[in-house]
Structure 1
Amino acid sequence: MIVVMFLVVTIVFVIVRVTPGDPAAVMLGPDATAQDIASLRARLGLDQPLALQYLYYFGQLLQGDLGQSIFLNEPVTAALFERAEPTFFLTVFSLIIASIIALPIGIYSAYRRGSLFDQAATALAMLAASIPSFWLGLILIQSFAVRHGIFPVSGYGGPGSSFVDRMYHLALPSIVLGVVSSALILRFTRASMLDVLGDDYIRTARAKGLIERKVILKHALKNALIPILTVIGLTAAVLISGAVVTETIFSLPGIGNLVVSAVLRRDYPVIQGALLVIAGLYVLINFAIDMLYLLVDPRVRY
Structure 2
Amino acid sequence: MSYTLQRIAGMMVVMFFVVSIVFLIVHIAPGDPAVVMLGPSASEEQVAALRAAWGLDRPLFGQYLLFLGQLVQGDLGQSIFLGKPVLELLAGRAEPTFFLTIFSTVVACLIAIPLGVYAAYRRNSLWDRLATSLAMLAASVPSFWLGLILIQTLSLQFGWFPVSGYGGPGADFMTRLHHLFLPAVSLGIYSSALILRFTRASMLDVLSEDYVRTARSKGMGEFRVVMKHAFKNALVPIVTIVGMTMALLVAGAVITEMVFGLPGVGNLIVTSVLRRDYPVIQGTLLVVSLIYVLMNFLIDMLYLVIDPRVKY
Task: Provide the TM-score with structure 2 as the length reference.
Answer: 0.96
Cα distance in 2 between the residues matched to 1:41 and 1:293: 49
Q: In the alignment, is residue 152 of structure 1 matched against residue 134 of structure 2?
A: no
Report Cα offsets for 1:64-99 as digits up to 9, x if no partner: 000001111100000000000000000000000000
Report Cα offsets for 1:205-242 as digits up to 9, x if no partner: 00011100000000000110000000000000000111
Q: In the alignment, is residue 13 of structure 1 matched against residue 17 of structure 2?
A: no
Structure 2 residue runs without a partner (length 5+) = 1-10
The answer for the alignment partner of 1:286 in structure 2 is 296
The answer for the alignment partner of 1:83 in structure 2 is 93
Amino acid at match of 2:216: R
Moved more, 159-168 or 212-221: 159-168
Moved more, 27-36 or 104-113: 27-36
Cα distance in 1 between the residues matched to 2:216 and 2:177: 45
Mapping of residues 112-131 of structure 1, within 5 Å: 112-131=122-141
Cα distance in 2 between the residues matched to 1:164 and 1:112: 38
Cα distance in 1 between the residues matched to 2:99 and 2:42: 42
Amino acid at match of 1:238: L
- Tell me the CA shift for residue 160 of structure 1: 2.5
Mapping of residues 228-267 of structure 1, within 5 Å: 228-267=238-277
Task: Provide the TM-score with structure 1 as the length reference.
Answer: 0.99
DSSP 3-state at the match of 1:209: coil
Q: In the alignment, is residue 59 of structure 1 matched against residue 65 of structure 2?
A: no
DSSP 3-state at the match of 2:82: coil
Q: Deviating runs (4+, > 6 A) in structure 1?
A: none
Amino acid at match of 1:46: L
- Tell me the CA shift for residue 156 of structure 1: 0.7
DSSP 3-state at the match of 2:191: helix
Q: In the alignment, is residue 204 of structure 1 matched against residue 252 of structure 2?
A: no
The answer for the alignment partner of 1:173 in structure 2 is 183
Report Cα offsets for 1:169-188 as digits up to 9, x if no partner: 00000000000000000000
Report Cα offsets for 1:36-83 as digits up to 9, x if no partner: 111100001000010100000100000000000111110000000000
Cα distance in 2 between the residues matched to 1:73 and 1:14: 23
Cα distance in 1 between the residues matched to 2:170 and 2:233: 48
Q: In the alignment, is residue 102 of structure 1 matched against residue 118 of structure 2?
A: no
Aligned-residue RMSD, C-alpha: 0.6
1:184 paired residue among 176, 179, 194: 194
